[in-house]
Structure 1
Amino acid sequence: MALGKLIPLKRLTLLIALLFSLCACASGSRPPAPPKLPYNSWYVGLAAPRFMEVWVETVDVLDQRGLAFFRVHGGVAGYTRKPEGWHKGGGKMKPINNVDLPERLFLRWQSLVEPQAYKIRIPIPQWVRDEMVRPERVFCQGSKEWIDDYREMITLGMAPGGIVKVWVGGACLGFKEVGRFQAEIEPLGPYRGKSNGQYIPIEPENKAYIDQHGIPYGTW
């Protein structure tokens, strides 16, 4: 029996068009190719001055391919030895897998000692991405041997008042400062209003320090 007798011509035309449309959608939804980097992962570190407790709600990435990745890091930060000033780099590190080098970083966090919620969009200059893929011969103190290392780590340092400092460095290489930025207050509050204004509870040790010494604004 002829196909035309089973399916009317107009309906057959619509069916063929639908199949072509589905094929096009399927080909367009293929996952992107893995980024071509000299290492499997680069890292984001979270840092804050001692006692100046923070809770990071999210770190999002727009990579140099124009692809967005959400909540690649968050939670508690690593803390410096002193409340005033910074050390360079470090912090609580997390590997960022299958993401190309960052073009922009989006950071939203709670400064628990104030308390206040902040947000910021941080542009990453091209020289930083160049540094991240440039090998450098260095004697590594950890392994006691010469290696080719990369500055594949980006640290985000957060301080009260919405101050953010950014560094790029490597495990065996020094950190270079990318810039100092001023975040804006998140008008919706913590968790963009989803917690009804409730912040993460501050640790008693940190609260006791703030109650006794205050917040050293202007030292970061």
Structure 2
Amino acid sequence: MRTFLLACALFLLGGCVTSQSQPRLPFNAWYVGLLAPNYMEVWVESVDVIDRRGLAYEQVHSGIVAIQSPSNNSGNPRGWPKRVGSGAGKNLPGIDLPEIIFVRWQSLVEPQTYNVRINIPEWVREKMLEQHSSYCQADKRVIDGLYRHDITIGLAPGGIAKAWVGGPCLEPIEIGRFEAAISKVGPYGGTSNGKHRPLSGKAKAYIEQHGVPYDAW
């Protein structure tokens, strides 16, 4: 969390502030979601955000990510989906559009704990505020008033992260690929004697047979 706290100080000149007026957005909240390649299980310890007002929000989300682990090792973990979904996450009401997102996560197949800083460029925030009309397959009609209010982050072994901005019925746009640093304190902030969460049986079976394709992301 050293990087996060330093960023708080730089942005706020005196600490992390989380109580301010509601941001003026054309939607109620933007969404942060996370996913991982097939079988490459992840546990997110913390998602922290600094918004465009310079306000810092710690631990806005944690837990599981969106992942598929088909039986009989029939899934393919290499690469990312051609069209990523929103991922597993939550809406963030009261938080303005993101300037920086920090993610600390456990990559369970290695196992290793990583910290990554994802800088959100201005063009992404501009895309999030653009209103669209688009045909939605689920509704079988054109829907008006659509926004790319989702930030989706993919987490992979080796500390690789990839981010997209997207929304319902709209094509996601890639933000960038990011390389994380290994956490010096280890899992759970150093409180678990180096022990990570266990792998599921399906993920363990896949890794034992095929290994981890580190060059795939």
Change (3 A) 1:30 1:130: closer
Q: How does 1:104-119 map to 2 (within 5 A)?
A: 104-119=100-115
Ranges of 4+ aligned residues in structure 1 off by more than 4 Å: none
Q: Could you say which structure has the larger radius of gyration?
A: 1
Per mean C-alpha deviation after superposition, the further-off stretch among 73-82 and 132-141 is: 73-82
Q: TM-score, with normalisation over the residues of structure 2?
A: 0.85
Amino acid paired to 2:84 = G
C-alpha distance in 2 between matches for 1:83 and 1:30:
38
Amino acid paired to 2:216 = T
Residue 44 of structure 2: aligned partner: 56
Contact 1:157 1:165 in 2 (8 A): yes
Q: TM-score, with normalisation over the residues of structure 1?
A: 0.84
Q: How does 1:122-161 map to 2 (within 5 A)?
A: 122-146=118-142, 147-161=144-158
Q: How does 1:17-96 map to 2 (within 5 A)?
A: 31-79=19-67, 82-87=76-81, 88-90=83-85, 91-96=87-92
Contact 1:154 1:169 in 2 (8 A): yes
Q: Which runs of no fewer than 5 residues in structure 1 stay unpaired?
A: 1-28
Secondary structure of the residue aligned to 1:130 is: helix
2:176 aligned with 1:187: no
Amino acid paired to 1:54 = V
The offset of 1:205, in angstroms, is 1.0
Q: State the superposition RMSD in angstroms.
A: 1.5
Contact 1:61 1:105 in 2 (8 A): yes
Amino acid paired to 2:35 = A
Residue 203 of structure 1: aligned partner: 200
Secondary structure of the residue aligned to 2:216 is: coil
Residue 161 of structure 2: aligned partner: 164
Secondary structure of the residue aligned to 1:132 is: helix
C-alpha distance in 2 between matches for 1:132 and 1:102:
10
C-alpha distance in 1 between matches for 2:47 and 2:112:
17
Residue 5 of structure 1: aligned partner: none
Contact 2:23 2:96 in 1 (8 A): yes
Number of aligned positions between the proteins: 192
The offset of 1:73, in angstroms, is 1.3
C-alpha distance in 1 between matches for 2:153 and 2:38:
15
C-alpha distance in 1 between matches for 2:18 and 2:128:
28
